[in-house]
Structure 1
């Protein structure tokens, strides 16, 4: 599930980046352009926004599973996982 969420995030992010402008005067109008004028742009924006929440829910469930089954006793693996968690949140 984490891989699927991450793949959806990357693909929808690329499609959104094709139409977004970061200039302060045109940023809002580019978002409305994505929602109104781009084919299925509102779905892409919706998937990207909610996909991020789903990604973190799956990530926290994965950590919870590791805590439940006692995987924290494998220190090297657990520390790599913590480093990846901090990298994802940064």
Structure 2
């Protein structure tokens, strides 16, 4: 099982979020938009590839994208449940 801090480190390194540290990212921070990490649509594609490579998890249920990608913790929960 991947911990939240391990996952935050993968996000920071994989998406080149040089301005962030693990402590800067709240567990329930939105992944997209100005209220959270601030990822955009290009980042979302890269994020899906990182998840597949790092965890072997494919996100194929497009109907649940909004819920899965709502926050750091919701995405990690999906990964841990589907590894």
- Asked whether the two chains share a fold, i.e. TM above 0.5, the reply is no
Greater helix content: 1
Q: TM-score, normalised by structure 1?
A: 0.28
- Structure whose CA Rg is larger: 1
